[in-house]
Chains A and B, each alone.
Chain A
Amino acid sequence: MFSAFMLHAWIVATLVAVAAGCVGFFVVARRAAFAAHALPLGAFPGAAAASLMGVNELWGLAGFAVLGVLVIGQLQRAGRREIASALWLTSALALGVLLLGLSGRYAQSVYGLLFGDLLGIDTRQMAVVAAFSGLTVALVAWVGRPLLLDSLSSELASAAGARARALEFVFLGILALSTAIAVPVVGALLVFSLMVGPASAARACTDRPWRSLAIAVGICLATVWSAIALAYVTNWPVGFFVGMLSAVCYVAGRLRGGAVALAQVA
Chain B
Amino acid sequence: MAGMFAWGHMGGFWSNQPVRVALVVGGGAALVCAVVGLSTVMRRQAFAGHALADVSGAGGSASFLLGINPLFGFLGMAAAAAGVMEWAQVREARERDLLTGVVLGAGLGLAALLLYLDMTVRNVSGAAITVLFGSMFTIPPSIVPVALTVAAAALGASALVFRPLLVSTLSVDLARAQGASVRTIALIHALALALAVSLAAMTVGAILSTALLIGPAAAALQVARRPATALALAVLIGLAAAWGGIALAYQSYYWTAGHGWPVSFFIVMLIVCAYLVASAAARRRAGSSATAPRSGCQEH
Contacts and interface: CB of A to CB of B under 8 A. Distances in A.
Interface in B99-135: 99-110, 112-113, 115-116, 119, 125-129, 132-133
B183 interface: no
Interface in A233-248: 236-237, 239-244, 246-247
Contacts of A80: 44, 46, 297, 299-300
B109 A240 contact: yes
Contacts of A197: 102, 105
B168 interface: no
Nearest to A36: B101
A164 B104 CA distance: 29
A200 B297 contact: no
B191 interface: no
Contacts of A34: 46-47, 50, 97, 101
Nearest to A38: B50
Nearest to B245: A94
B214 A192 contact: no
A107 B109 contact: no
Interface stretch (B20-28, B65-73, B232-240, B263-271): B263-271
A87 B276 CA distance: 10
Contacts of B264: 94, 97
B176 interface: no
B275 interface: yes
A91 B101 contact: no
Nearest to A227: B109
Interface residues of A, number: 53
A81 B297 CA distance: 11
Contact of A79 (B110, B125, B298): B298
A189 B101 CA distance: 11
Interface stretch (B10-18, B145-153, B205-213): B205-213
A59 interface: no
A242 B109 contact: yes
Interface stretch (A3-11, A110-118, A126-134): A110-118
B297 A244 contact: no
A181 interface: no
B74 to A, nearest CB: 18
Contacts of B100: 33
Interface stretch (A98-106, A172-180, A207-215): A98-106
Contacts of A78: 222, 279, 282-283
Interface residues on B, range: 35 or more
A89 B50 contact: yes
A91 B269 contact: yes
Contact of B108 (A31, A32, A243): A243
Contacts of B116: 115, 236-237, 240
Contact of B129 (A41, A107, A196, A243): A107
A64 B288 CA distance: 35
A50 interface: no
A86 B37 CA distance: 12
B202 interface: no
A240 B110 contact: yes
B157 to A, nearest CB: 23
B256 interface: yes
A158 interface: no
Given A34-B97, A98-B262, A239-B108, A82 B113 contact: no
Nearest to B300: A80
Contacts of B265: 94-95, 97-98
A193 interface: yes
A193 B109 contact: yes
A246 B207 contact: no
B218 A200 contact: no
Contacts of A196: 98, 101-102, 105
Contacts of B271: 90
Interface of A: 28, 31-34, 36-37, 41, 76, 78-83, 85-87, 89-91, 93-95, 97-98, 101-102, 106-108, 110-111, 114-115, 187, 189, 192-193, 196-197, 200, 236-237, 239-244, 246-247, 250
